[in-house]
Amino acid sequence: MDESIWNSVRASRGWLDTANGTGDVELTCRILKLTEEAGEAAGAWIGVLGQNPRKGVTHSREDVAAELADVAFTALVAIESLGLDPQSLLHACAAKVRARTGTG
């Protein structure tokens, strides 16, 4: 990934730390934020399908992808907030997937 992504993750954590502190309640909120973002992605997909007959089709696949990007970025900030290195953890996760799928 581009280094600017990791810089943005660190900057976001710093901004949140300054604004909200770093205690366990704040960390809990950052982890729960991930669930909120995932819900927005789910809602966007429901909107793509037009599953709610009252609303019809309200979102595009691009909207869903943008929400999924929010989920991914929020997860990286939460990892950084735990005091761990999201870049190395993401690489380790990808290595596990490659080993499981026989692609690496």
Task: Judge whether residue 1 has pLDDT over 70.
Answer: no
Q: Domains of the chain: which residue ranges?
A: 3-101
Task: Judge whether residue 3 has pLDDT over 90.
Answer: no
Q: How far apart are CA 98 and CA 23, in angstroms?
A: 36
The CATH fold of domain 3-101: Helix Hairpins (1.10.287)
Per residue in 13-65, pLDDT tens?
Answer: 999 999 999 999 999 999 999 999 999 999 999 999 999 999 999 999 999 99
Residues 6+ apart with CB under 8 A from 73: 8, 9, 12
Query: Quick one: CA torsion of 92, 95, 100, 104, rounded to 10 degrees?
Result: -170
Whole-model pTM: value is: 0.92
Contact between 58 and 42 (Cβ < 8 Å):
no
Task: Judge whether residue 2 has pLDDT over 80.
Answer: no
Per residue in 62-103, pLDDT tens?
Answer: 999 999 999 999 999 999 999 999 999 999 999 999 999 998
